Amino acid sequence: MSGQKPGGSFTVCPHCAAVNRLPADKPASEGRCGQCKGALFDGHPAEVDAAGFERHVTRGSAPVLVDVWAPWCGPCRVMGPAFASAAARLEPDFRLLKLNSDAEPELSGRLGIRSIPTLLLFAGGKRIAQHSGAITADQIVAWARQQLAHAA
């Protein structure tokens, strides 16, 4: 995979943001954080702030799928459970994050977010795709895998 760094695969803990090396001899889905002992992949999107977002995108080896949302946004609330369900299916091949655009307006501006919900897909630290508007869990899973295949 193009985003991999020499010396193995890395992932950022969704609980404490520590960077963990994934053991090559065990499935990533069973990995636990060396710092907080939490599951590195627990099938749930990780809520991130701007610092957490940067860390996941730049330090993790797996592609990162971000749901940019806000609490007042009806379609965002509709897509929330679909995104959570997609996390259970896409991990550990992808890392799924939720970014509250109201809490991080500076980052949302820098990312050029014009409407929410917006899905952003990053691989190798670069944005490779984005999609605006609420879609179902099946559509999220298919879209993320397709976009990654096209970018490879």
Contacts to Zn ion by CB under 5 A: 13, 15-16, 18, 33, 35-36, 38
Q: What is the 3-state secondary structure (H, E, C) of the chain?
A: CCCCECCEEEEECCCCCCEEEECCCCCHHHCECCCCCCECCCCCCEEECHHHHHHHHHHCCCCEEEEEECCCCHHHHHHHHHHHHHHHHHCCCCEEEEEECCCCHHHHHHCCCCCCCEEEEEECCEEEEEEECCCCHHHHHHHHHHHHHHHC
| Beta carbon of residue 63, minimum distance to Zn ion (angstroms, whole number) | 20
Nearer to Zn ion, 46 or 141 (CB): 46
Active site residue 36: no
Shortest gap between Cβ of 40 and Zn ion (angstroms)?
8
Q: Which is nearer to Zn ion, 16 or 78 (CB)?
A: 16
Least distance CB 34 / Zn ion (angstroms): 8
Angle at which helices 137-151 and 74-90 cross, to 10°? 60
Q: Which residue number, 34 or 81, has a Cβ lying nearer to Zn ion?
A: 34
Closer Cβ to Zn ion, 92 or 124, answer by number: 92
Q: Are 67 and 34 in contact (CB under 8 A)?
A: no
> At its nearest, how many Å lie between Zn ion and the CB of residue 32?
8
Catalytic residues: 73, 76
